[in-house]
Structure 1
C-alpha cells in the first residue's frame, strides 16, 4: 500500500522505468522514470481480454489521494460496462473537425446518401487537411471562407461542392446537438455555375436515330422517348 513518503522517494536510474501498483486502489499504477512520475489506471473492459491504460496525470500535480479517488471513480465506470479510454478518445475526436466529419459520414451520409463516397472524398481531400485539427464547435465563418477562396482559385466548381457538403455536415451536426451553429450559413458560392446549353444539331439527331435501330426494341424506344421529350 503506497504512502506519500514512498511516492516522493521513488527514483529510476537512467533509461529504466519503475511500474509500482497500489494495493489500496486496484488498478492504480505509478510510472517512475528518470525525469518524471505519472499516474495511470490499468483495467480490462468487460468482454475484453486486453488490458487498457488510462492516463490520470503527473505527480505531484495529482497527489496519491487524488489519484486514488480518480481510480475509484474509473473502476465504477468499468464495472458498469464503460470503457474510460474509448470514451476519452470519442470525446477528443468529436471535438475536432476531422472527428466531427468522420461521424457525419459514418452515422448519416453512408446511411442516407447514395453518393456519400463523393462527399467523403471532398472532405478528406480539401477540408480535413486544412481544418481537421480545429475544434468543430469553434470553426468560424472566416476560416471556412478563406478555405473556399483557396479551393476556388484552383478548382472553382469544387469550391462550390465543398461549400454545399460542409454546410450539410454542419446542419446535421446542429440537429444532433454536436455543434451549436453552422459556420457555413450565409457564405456565398465562389463561382457562379452556368447551365450547359448544348443541343444536338439536326445531323446529330439523324445519326442518333439511325444508331438506335441496332438496339434492342426496349432500349431503342426508351432512348427515342428521352430524345423526343427532352
Structure 2
C-alpha cells in the first residue's frame, strides 16, 4: 500500500506541475518577495506582523474562517477582530478554504463551496472584502481541484521550496516554507533570495507561527527578522501577493 500511495502521489505532483495552469511571463524590471502566513495563528501578526511593519513592508494572511479563535498545531488562531485589524494595518487577507480542506481528498465541488463560504464569512467581518489570492492547505491539490480553484483568484500558491521566474503558473505559484526543515539553514535561505533577485523572480515565503518556541510549521522571531531583512536588502520589491499581481496587471 505504501508503494501504491507513493506512486499515486508522484503522479499527482507531476500532473499539477504540468497541466491545469494559467501561464504568465514574469518580465518585471526588478524581483519581488512576498511573505505569507497559512492558517493565521495569532503570532503571525502579533510577532510576524510587527517585524514586517518595522521594515516598512506588509504580508498576506491566508485565513480559514472556520478555524478563527480556535486552537491549532501552530498555536491559537486569530479572531475575527484580529482579521479586521490586520487589514486596517495594510496587510492582505487571502483564502485558505473555510474548513482548511485537503485538496488531495476533497472533491472540486466541495472545494468551490468552501471557497464561497469562506468569502461570505470574511465579508461579514469586513464588508465588501474580495479575496484575490489563495493558498492550498495541507498536501496541495489534485489536478481537478487545481482546475476548479484557479479561475476564482488572481493567483494561487502551493509549495515547492523555490521561487517563480520566467514562465510562471498563476494557478500554482511556488513558495519557500520557513519550517522545521529550513528555518535553521540561513545559507539556503540567503541563496534562494539571491538567486531570485538575480533572475528578477518572485519569491514567496510561507510559514505559520512566529514564536520563540515555534511549532514544526513555524519559525522563531530571530529567523523571521533575518529573512525579512535579507529580502529588503536584496533590491526586491517586498509586497503582499495580491499587490504583486496588481503591479503586474494580473486579473482573475
TM range (shorter): under 0.3
**Structure with the higher strand share, 1 or 2:** 2
Q: Which has the higher helix share?
A: 1
The TM-score with structure 2 as length reference comes to: 0.22
Q: Using CA pairs under 8 Å that are at least 6 residues apart, name the structure with larger relative contact order, 1 or 2.
A: 2
